[in-house]
Amino acid sequence: MVSVKSILAGILILIPFIVYFAIPTYNKVEPDLGSLPFFYWYQTVWLAISTILFSIAALLLARR
């Protein structure tokens, strides 16, 4: 039987992929942050968020 922790871990793993595959949402230059175009800082922020989400998913699956 599939546990709630496994389902939650799967959702946490899928979120970054869904966000990264939605290319039209971040394929633009404006607004910029400092001198970085939106495209670059959006991906950098999501890299950090993805790390956190993957870590939480790994902890959930390790505690089975």
Tens of pLDDT, residues 5-51: 999 999 999 999 999 898 888 788 788 878 888 888 889 999 999 99
CA distance 48 to 16: 10
CA distance 6 to 20: 22
Task: Give 26: exposed, middle or buried? Use CB within 10 Å, 0-12, 13-18, 19+.
Answer: middle
State the pTM of this model. 0.82
What is the gyration radius of the CA atoms in the chain, in angstroms? Answer: 15
Question: What are the sequence ranges of the domains in the chain?
Answer: 4-62
